[in-house]
Chain A
Amino acid sequence: MARKRWTFAIALMLVLALFAAACGSDDGGSSSGDEEFKIAFVHVGPTADKGWSWAHDQGAKYLEANMPGVKITTLESIDEGPDSQRVFEDLAADGNTLIFGTSFGYMDPMLAAAENFPDVTFVHATGYKTSDNMGNYFGAAEEGRYLSGMAAGERTETNLIGYVAAFPIPEVLRGINAFTLGVREINPDAEVQVVWTSTWLDPTKEGDAAQALLDAGADVIAMHQDTPAPGQKAEAAGAGWVGYNTDMSEFAPNGWLTAAIWDWGPFYLTTAEAVKAGTWKPEVVYGHMADGMVDIASFGPSVSDEMQALIETRKQEIIDGTFAVFPDPIVNQDGVEQPLGDIFGMDFFVEGVIGSPKS
């Protein structure tokens, strides 16, 4: 009896192995001939998410359009964790000379792959580890968050704004705090209620969280995750919506206010040119509104002309360096003034946020 099942599995392996021998031989030759500059992108979500991964994919497309002779390979929906090391190494073995990984969880796997492929340049988004051939990059989303908060502060009538948040980590806390500061510049009585979903991309959970906030009386929804689900709930309830990552106004044309958005294209282009010219150095890049990595999306119909003008003024001040999003010292959730400290380790909420910064 045991033998029967054995043979099946072994036969399967044999066929595959024979096939490998037959096909494998002509595979090696094809990659060595051409001189094109190969760049690969690895995303955690689908590039069609219209959120985080989509924004990075737009950057890749910008790079492709502006750099002659470049060949871009894009891998989407690649799980974080140990599996991704293999994915990075396969790309390096395939002749890619520059590899971008656009999610935090790729950090350690990428570091290990970078060690095994010292001639390939690895660049990692949102992490903090670097090596001889690995750099990282991220940007000050808080600058856009502050401006989008101003639009939300104008819109709210119940003075309760709901914030669908991902994980209680410094990046997300920075976003919530900057947003709240923007809200309260315009409307000092408004409060921002935070709900944690522990997700980056789960439309059902994120939509449910938005609905719970709407049921609690919020009339504007802000969010951090990669899907437009919270916006669709807000639109259905007649509430306002502040998105993130990209201009998602098409999902909620009436509720749309604006969003902090990313423009990764120029960074990708300069990085690729530096690698090609041999001048690339492993560094920690933190982009700003001033260099165009962070911006604010188009305004929805309910944002008044005066508010749009005020936001534009504030934006120019941020670019000029005359306005700081986070004051130092800063008033925390308990109404107590405290030193701002390192914003990359931010672990508190500012005054006006309802909820716990520890989930």
Chain B
Amino acid sequence: MTRRLIVEPRGLAPWWLKLLIPVASVFAALIVGALFLSLTGNDWFEVYGKMLDTAFGSGRGFAETLVSATPLILTGVAAAIAFRMLVWNIGGEGQLIFGAIVAAGVGIWLSGSTPPIIAITAVVIAGAVGGAFWASLSAVPKVYLGTNEIITTLMLNFIALNLMQYLVLGSFSPWRDPEATQFPQGRPIIDTGRIPEFFHRLDWGLFIAIAVAVLAWFVISKTRSGFEYRIVGDSFDTARYAGIKVPKKVLGTFLASGAAAGLAGSILVAGILGKMDPRSLDLGLGFIGIIVAALARLNPIAIIPVAILMGALNNAGPALQSIGVPSATVTILQGAILLFAVAGEFLIANRFRRPDRTPEDAEMKAEVSAA
């Protein structure tokens, strides 16, 4: 008789399993990675040592990991809050870019004598407003005309990208630095609009990002509005039946999602970049945010450590090339670690069982549920 495995939702997994599976899946990824590295002629021990040393081994390295994580926290939150509401905003990339455009516009337009508190606040908030506006171009048609936001947000990414390139590379707009004649560059924003750095290149934007993630978690989990939000996220019909104004909720979520992505843009402009420059912003940060959100299972708090992990993986890449690992091998290794992490998540949520259930199996299941 054939025995096939059936996949079923696990329900509530015991606490030790929730800890064991992620740990085991990371180890599995590392073992498979080590095998792959050995087969391609690399010293796996040296490679792993280098990765961890780069990302966490020194104060500067860890600061750089957090620098890379900062925009990912925000684009991760942007994706997570939208996806939980079944709003498929994959336009974080475009909203980030448009946020950066608006933020840099304000930072260039302000007088150089503007006090830092006002200038920084204005630049940072301008980005959020810009991101929300760019999201509204998809949100309003979705809510009132029923257009598909997957298509509109995706297309608007390209429009934002081309707009950014046009403003600096293709025209003599105020965003283009008039002093850079050899190659077009973004014009620096006023100095008082820059977020101060507190350690190496790490600036206070990190704490803005963390605060936004915590705020998103708080609103969703602890407020009445968040409760309604979760109902809408479970089912539009249930929400409607419960008297919740679904279109208004969807619109609000969509705009908040865009604002978070736009904030990532303005924190880059006011922080590490100091200008809106196409080469520095066309990095797919909005798209990586979707991966971050998925790995964090759409939980805003979990996004913080996941974004840090992504930042670490990102920074380890070039460092591995310096010990002779080809760039393609690095990309494969990074992909393997992410793949195993996602697979591990699946094992927490689901389990395998044999189809012919014996009384013992049923007992075990009852025990697990009780735990």
Number of interface residues of A (CB under 8 A): 58
Q: Is the CB of B302 within 8 A of A9?
A: yes
* Docked pose: A13 CA to B201 CA in angstroms: 22
Query: In the bound complex, what is the Cα–Cα distance between A155 and B221 (angstroms)?
Result: 72
Any A CB within 8 A of the CB of B350: no
Residues in B with CB closer than 8 Å to A93 are 58, 60
- Which A residue sits closest to B303, measured CB to CB? A9
Q: Are B302 and A85 in contact (CB under 8 A)?
A: no
Asked if B321 is an interface residue, CB under 8 A from chain A, the answer is: yes
Of B18, B52, B170, B295, the residue contacting A23 (CB under 8 A) is B52
Contact of B319 among A11, A77, A90 (CB under 8 A): A90
CA distance A274 to B197 in the complex (A): 36
Residue of B170, B272, B305 most packed against chain A (CB within 10 A): B305
Is A344 in contact with B283, judged by CB distance below 8 angstroms? Answer: no
Contact pattern, B 246-281, Cβ under 8 Å of A = 1, otherwise 0: 000000000000000000000010001100010111
Per-residue interface assignment for chain A, residues 1 to 34, with 1 indicating a CB less than 8 Å from any chain B CB and 0 otherwise? 0101111111111111101100110110000000
Q: A8-B22, A167-B184 are in contact. Are A2 and B301 (CB under 8 A)?
A: yes
Q: Are B327 and A77 in contact (CB under 8 A)?
A: yes
The answer to whether the Cβ of B341 comes within 8 Å of any Cβ in the partner chain is yes
- Asked whether, in the complex, the Cβ of B273 is within 8 Å of the Cβ of A82, the reply is yes
**Cβ of A74: which chain B residues have Cβ within 8 Å of it?**
321
When distances are taken between beta carbons in the complex, the residues of chain B under 8 Å from A126 are: 182-183
Which A residues, 316 to 359, have Cβ-Cβ distances below 8 Å to chain B? 344-345, 347, 358-359
Chain A neighbourhood of B183, CB < 8 A: 104-105, 126, 167, 169, 171
Residues of B within 8 A of A26 (CB): 49
B321: chain A residues at CB < 8 Å are: 73-76
With a cutoff of 8 Å between Cβ atoms, the chain B residues found around residue A358 in the complex are: 171-172
Q: Does A79 contact B (CB under 8 A)?
A: yes
Which B residues are CB-close (under 8 A) to A87?
318
Q: Is B322 an interface residue (CB 8 A)?
A: yes
Q: Which residues of B are found within 8 Å of A167, using beta-carbon distances?
A: 169, 183-184
- Whether A9 pairs with B322 at a CB distance below 8 angstroms is no
B181 touches A20 (CB 8 A): no
Rounded to whole Å, the gap between the CB of B12 and the closest CB of chain A is: 9
Is B305 touching A24 in the complex (CB atoms < 8 A)? no
Interface size on B (CB < 8 Å)?
69
List the B residue with the shortest CB-CB distance to A1: B299
B297 touches A5 (CB 8 A): yes
Which residues, 10 to 51 on B, are CB-close (under 8 Å) to A?
13, 15, 18-19, 21-23, 26-27, 30, 45, 48-50
B291 touches A (CB below 8 Å)? no
Tell me whether B88 is interfacial, beta carbon within 8 Å: no
Residue A91 is within 8 A (CB to CB) of chain B in the complex = yes
Segment among B129-137, B144-152, B306-314 that sits at the interface with chain A: B306-314
Judge whether B53 and A23 touch: CB under 8 Å: yes
- A residues 70-126 touching B (CB-CB < 8 Å): 73-83, 85-87, 89-91, 93-94, 104-105, 126
Q: Do B19 and A7 touch (CB < 8 A)? A: yes
Q: Does B206 contact A (CB under 8 A)?
A: no
B184 contacts A27, CB within 8 Å? Answer: no
Partner of A27, one of B49, B169, B281, B341: B49
Verify B318–A81 contact, CB threshold 8 A. Answer: no
- CB of B103 within 8 Å of the partner chain: no
CA distance A64 to B326 in the complex (A): 19
- A100 and B272 CA atoms in complex are apart in Å by 23
**Chain B interfacial positions (CB closer than 8 Å to A):** 13, 15, 18-19, 21-23, 26-27, 30, 45, 48-50, 52-58, 60-61, 64, 67-68, 165, 169-172, 181-184, 201, 217, 221, 268, 272-273, 277, 279-281, 283, 295-297, 299, 301-302, 304-306, 308-309, 312, 314-315, 318-319, 321-322, 327, 341, 344-345, 348
Given contacts A19-B48, A27-B53, 6 further A-B contacts (CB under 8 A): A7-B19, A8-B22, A12-B26, A16-B56, A128-B182, A169-B184
Q: Which 10 A-B pairs have the closest CB atoms?
A: A81-B280, A20-B52, A23-B49, A9-B305, A5-B302, A5-B299, A8-B22, A80-B279, A11-B22, A5-B297
> 10 A-B Cβ contacts within 8 A?
A5-B301, A9-B295, A9-B296, A12-B341, A13-B305, A83-B68, A86-B315, A167-B184, A170-B181, A171-B183
